Amino acid sequence: MKQFLQAWKKYLMYAGFFSFFVNLFQLTFSIYMLLIYDKVLTSYSMPTLVVITLIALVAVATMFLLDIVRSRILVRMSIAMDHQMSEPVLQGMIRKSAFAGEGESEATLKDVSLLRNFLSGSSIFAFFDLPWTPIFIGMIFILHPLLGLVAIAGGILTTIAGILQDKATQKPLLLANNIATVSQDLISMGMRNAEAVRSMGMLDALTARWHKLNDVVIQLQSSASDKAGVIQSFTKALGTLMQIAVYAAGAWLAVSGKCTPGVMIAASIIMGRALAPINLGMAAYKQIADTLQAYRRLDQHFKTAADRETMELPPPTGALSCEGVTLVHGGKQPVLFGISFKLNPGESMGLIGPSAAGKTTLCRLLIGLWPPTSGSVRLDGADVFAWDQEKLGKHLGYLPQDIELFSGTVADNIGRFGEYSAEAVVAAAQKAGAHEMILRLPDGYDTKIGMGGARLSGGQRQRIGLARALYGNPRFVILDEPTSNLDEEGVHAFVNTLAQLKEEQVTVVVVSHQMNALANVDKLLLLAGGKVVQFGDRTPILQALTQAAAPQPVPQQAPKPAFPRPVGGVLKAQGN
């Protein structure tokens, strides 16, 4: 965040500059009342009243204009902050979603919104006005030391109340926010899987679970609000008590002839201005606390992003090497252990194995979504995870097992929502064997597919996802179960796609349980239990697997020996 604070430094300096004069003109009313009591009411001079009233009006108008300027400066700062931070934070959120190992404290766009609202709201003025609190108290000392002591006592008691409020509410509010996040995730999950929830009678159970979480959130927030309410009520009462104390001390001094009534009125007004920033900070405590937490998360996000900055590398040719890759994810047992293999540019490999063997996890490591715990995945000799993903992504094609399309047109999805050309989109669709299928849609390539491709069948989504993976002629393509939703015609088209990629010298990794979809691959890698069982040329491995799966002849049992059997109560040998 330091780089952003440096960029916003000019806004803060201008806001502080105008705050100086705004707070200076805040003394207008107290000085005006002092002059009224000590000059006008004692001399009965109307010209004096007119002059000081006009001066007060000019001062108030000037303060009004300066306050508007200060507010607009901070609003402009909040807009600049949003423009500079939203895009990298959004990219970080997507990286977190792709990599389940990211910490839960990763910054979100909500944190950017919290910071923007704080900068453009009134709570931030407490920070600009707080340095004036000791100055105002010093002015009260100038009026009379006793009144200054009363003001100091009020400031100390108000500050103690603020600290008590922080201690009493910080932990329950933080826990409530964390549980509220879990409940919101539960709602989002239910919305994404609405069909399964309704069809299998899960709605009541899901609602009950959310209700339990929400009850805990309400209980924690209510407890924190009750404690904060007691302290805030005490603070309000304290403010009134301090006014009474100042007036009582001022009246005693005035009666004793040690000050004038104007000093008593002015001291009371100045003390109110001195304690105002503290009261404002306490009233906006929750917003300030949330903003500070958002700032810490954003700071951590940008530190992590700075650590990931890498030098741009030339486009890859597709030479892939996996060197002793081990991944420990979500537990102590490795998900992948000691994975090693190599593919030359233009070679294709079928990745096979039983369910939960680690095939999809390995795919995520191969394209740099997840970093291995040990070992490395290298593309053209460079570590894939250390490569700038945005730049590398232009040369990669990836079809995940769970196909997610975005709300927009078919062309938007195939063109990866970038500045695509119609020729490139059509070429990718033709290469994926999806061109004719797309033309049969209501508006062809301009058909709006709805959120997640809801208006398409599973096979249509899969073929459009394949076209998206092949858009831009990538040099390295990973396809995870690309034929799971395809019919026989679609599988045949996919085999033709693999043959065309081979001609173009594209390195391809295909995960599939259908061996006919792997008819044209060069190599096979059999994965089981997170380990490599076999790796090599396709034909010998396929023959070995076929022989192992062939039914074994059942051995014939030897004939049972003949035993005598009873006939009519008398033992008689069989066969006689």
pLDDT in tens, 359-404: 888 888 888 888 888 888 888 888 887 777 777 888 888 888 888 7
pLDDT at residue 61 in the model? 93
CATH superfamily of domain region 320-547: P-loop containing nucleotide triphosphate hydrolases (3.40.50.300)
Q: Among 108, 113, 115, which Cα is nearest to 90's?
A: 108
Output the six-digit token pair for 433.
Answer: 């064997």
Q: Say which residue the tokens 């015609």 belong to.
A: 489
DSSP-derived letter for residue 448 is B
pLDDT at residue 65 in the model? 93
pLDDT at residue 57 in the model? 93
End-to-end Cα distance, the chain: 104
Residue 275: φ, ψ to 5°: -90, -10
The radius of gyration of the chain from alpha carbons, rounded to an integer in Å, stands at: 38
Residue 478: φ, ψ to 5°: -120, 125
Q: Say which residue the tokens 């600049």 belong to.
A: 80
* pLDDT tens-digit readout, 295-353: 777 777 777 665 555 556 678 888 899 988 888 876 667 888 888 999 999 899 999 88
Q: Among 545, 541, 507, which Cα is nearest to 524's?
A: 541
Q: Among 126, 122, 123, 155, which Cα is nearest to 270's?
A: 155
pLDDT at residue 85 in the model? 78
Distance CA 560, CA 103 (A): 70
In sign, the C-alpha dihedral spanning 378, 383, 385, 388 is: negative
Q: Among 396, 383, 370, which Cα is nearest to 310's?
A: 383
Distances (CA, A) of 412 to 215, 463, 559: 43, 14, 73
**What are the boundaries of each domain within the chain?**
1-123+298-306, 131-283, 320-547
**Is 202 in a helix, a strand, or coil?**
coil
Distance CA 470, CA 426 (A): 11
Contact 409, 448 (CB under 8 A): yes
Contact 129, 298 (CB under 8 A): no
Which parts of the chain sit beneath pLDDT 50?
A: 100-105, 562-576
**Is 370 in a helix, a strand, or coil?**
coil
pLDDT at residue 101 in the model? 45
Q: How many CB atoms lie within 10 A of CB 204?
A: 9
Q: Say which residue the tokens 């509220």 belong to.
A: 180
Q: Which CATH architecture has domain 131-283?
A: Up-down Bundle (1.20)
The full DSSP string for 485-505 is T--HHHHHHHHHHHHHHHHTT
Q: Among 166, 179, 143, 137, which Cα is nearest to 227's?
A: 166
pLDDT at residue 90 in the model? 76
Neighbouring C-alpha atoms within 13 Å toward the C-beta of 55:
15
**Is 472 in a helix, a strand, or coil?**
coil
In sign, the C-alpha dihedral spanning 373, 377, 382, 385 is: negative
Full-model pTM = 0.64
Contact 274, 155 (CB under 8 A): yes
Distance CA 571, CA 10 (A): 117
pLDDT at residue 222 in the model? 83
Q: How many CB atoms lie within 10 A of CB 408?
A: 16
